[in-house]
């Protein structure tokens, strides 16, 4: 008997930019054209023209799989038709705006999930992404720009990419494009120039995008062959404690909204340190029955959020939260505990007798990180 050979996963390539208008889509289409010239079967799965003539011109000659229409609350929306693409089965599919959220009612809520389906079916995907959509940067980007980016994707999706290409222009050139009305309509452009597209915001986003791409390259090199040092440094082993213990970060979740900040930051630091990452919620009743409905929902949201970022989460029974945290940290050989600040005002009351205070006292052999508050 012969079993069907498993489909080889499609190649995944991301064109990474730091803002709208840097030319990601243009470059993605350009590459699509190039691959088509080389004889590959290329289709456009989703393309957002934004009325940009230069970009639209690059689609010429490329087949587009028609979008699917979905009526939601009386309005018709168009989304990528993943099933139709699977049926068409091209070798390469171009998918604009990886971080897009689908309109409710589709099988999958996020476009990156649709892309996973295409990749699993052996279709190579070229896609575009702006750095601000990366989940772990969400708080930082909000602090910098005042914009809370709603459409995010977990960092691990980007880690999966076989190739990341940085699409770069200078902020000055980008602002010129904006002024000339290439990117948005006049009115929208004026507003953008003052806010998100302020030069220092663009520079900061650009720096982050470059660093992130460098980080991804370094990670790939470390996976490829541990014995050869990567360019920026000469330590491709996982970050270890002096004792040789692998770094392991434990994130302490509570019911406050700020726990999301903690989760993102813990994940990010763990990624950079190549550390393991766990999250824990300690409660007198693991069924969370003692919490108000609002608190319970909040905790469940945090736990789900952490899982989504591929953090192993545990709800642990414990009458004293700090003791539960430290005991768990010991069993799991955590080297660092990530905690938030205490909620009450006045530092004397906040620290003494607080969970944080107690954890610091109990976890004497561990490092404890009190994560920054993000404010504007």
Q: Using CB under 8 A, list all residues that contact another protein.
A: 13, 140, 143-144, 163-170, 172-173, 199-201, 203-208, 210-211, 213-214, 217-218, 220-221, 224-225, 228-235, 239, 242, 265, 272-274, 336, 341, 347-348, 350-352, 356-357, 360-361, 364-373, 375
Q: Is 265 exposed, middle or buried (0-12, 13-18, 19+ CB in 10 A)?
A: buried
Shortest reach from residue 136's CB to another protein, in Å: 13
Shortest reach from residue 207's CB to another protein, in Å: 4
Helix (H) or strand (E) holding 217: helix 199-224
For another protein, the closer of residues 315 and 370 by Cβ is 370
For another protein, the closer of residues 17 and 318 by Cβ is 17
Shortest reach from residue 130's CB to another protein, in Å: 15
Shortest reach from residue 346's CB to another protein, in Å: 9
For another protein, the closer of residues 107 and 225 by Cβ is 225
For another protein, the closer of residues 116 and 354 by Cβ is 354
* Partner residues linked to 79 by β-bridges: 68
Q: 321 and 355 in contact (C-beta within 8 Å)?
A: yes
> For the chain, what percentages of helix, strand and coil (3-state, to nearest 5) are there?
40, 20, 40
For another protein, the closer of residues 200 and 290 by Cβ is 200
C-alpha–C-alpha distance, residues 6 and 115, integer Å: 18
Shortest reach from residue 322's CB to another protein, in Å: 13
DSSP class of residue 67 equals P
For another protein, the closer of residues 65 and 213 by Cβ is 213
Shortest reach from residue 330's CB to another protein, in Å: 10
Tokens of 31: 């590459």
Q: Order across the sheet with 92-95: list the strands.
A: 63-64, 42-46, 92-95, 124-130, 12-17, 163-166
Shortest reach from residue 326's CB to another protein, in Å: 13
For another protein, the closer of residues 67 and 246 by Cβ is 246
Closest CA to 155 of 202, 112, 92: 112
Shortest reach from residue 310's CB to another protein, in Å: 19
C-alpha–C-alpha distance, residues 354 and 350, integer Å: 6
For another protein, the closer of residues 169 and 282 by Cβ is 169
Backbone angles phi, psi at 197, to 5 degrees: -90, 15
C-alpha–C-alpha distance, residues 150 and 143, integer Å: 14
Shortest reach from residue 213's CB to another protein, in Å: 5
For 19-36, letters b (16+ CB in 10 Å) and e give bbbbbbbbbbbebbbebb
Q: 291 and 299 in contact (C-beta within 8 Å)?
A: yes
For another protein, the closer of residues 262 and 299 by Cβ is 262
């Amino acid at each position: 008997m012969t079993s069907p050979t498993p489909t080889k996963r499609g190649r995944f390539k991301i064109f990474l930019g730091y803002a709208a208008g840097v030319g990601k889509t243009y470059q993605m289409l350009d590459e699509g054209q190039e691959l088509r010239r080389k004889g590959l079967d290329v289709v456009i799965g989703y393309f957002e023209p934004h009325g940009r003539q230069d970009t639209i011109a690059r689609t010429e000659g490329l087949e587009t799989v028609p979008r699917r229409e979905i009526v939601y609350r009386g309005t018709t929306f168009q989304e990528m038709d993943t099933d139709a693409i699977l049926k068409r089965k091209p070798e390469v599919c171009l998918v604009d705006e990886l971080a897009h959220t689908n309109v409710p009612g589709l099988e999958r809520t996020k476009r990156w999930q649709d892309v996973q389906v295409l990749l699993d079916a052996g279709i190579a995907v070229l896609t575009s992404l702006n750095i601000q959509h990366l989940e772990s940067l969400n708080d930082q980007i909000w602090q910098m720009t005042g914009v809370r980016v709603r459409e995010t994707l977990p960092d691990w999706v980007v880690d999966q990419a076989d190739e990341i290409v940085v699409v770069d222009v200078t902020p000055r050139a980008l602002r010129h494009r904006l002024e000339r009305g290439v990117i948005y309509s006049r009115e929208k452009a004026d507003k953008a120039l003052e806010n998100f597209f302020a030069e220092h915001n663009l520079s900061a986003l650009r720096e982050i995008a470059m660093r992130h791409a460098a980080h991804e390259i370094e990670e790939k090199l470390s996976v490829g062959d541990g014995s050869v040092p990567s360019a920026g440094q000469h330590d491709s082993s996982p970050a270890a404690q002096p004792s040789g213990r692998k770094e392991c970060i434990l994130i302490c979740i509570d019911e406050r909204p700020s726990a999301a900040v903690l989760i993102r930051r813990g994940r990010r630091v763990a990624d950079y340190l190549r550390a393991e990452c766990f999250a824990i919620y300690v409660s007198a009743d693991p069924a969370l029955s003692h919490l108000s409905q609002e608190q319970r929902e909040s905790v469940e949201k945090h736990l789900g959020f952490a899982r989504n970022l591929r953090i192993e989460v545990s709800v642990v029974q414990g009458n004293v939260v700090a003791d539960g945290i430290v005991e768990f940290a010991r069993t799991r050989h955590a080297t660092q505990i990530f905690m938030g600040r205490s909620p009450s005002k006045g530092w004397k009351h906040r620290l003494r007798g607080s969970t944080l205070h107690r954890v610091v006292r109990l976890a004497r052999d561990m490092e404890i990180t009190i994560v920054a508050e993000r404010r504007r």
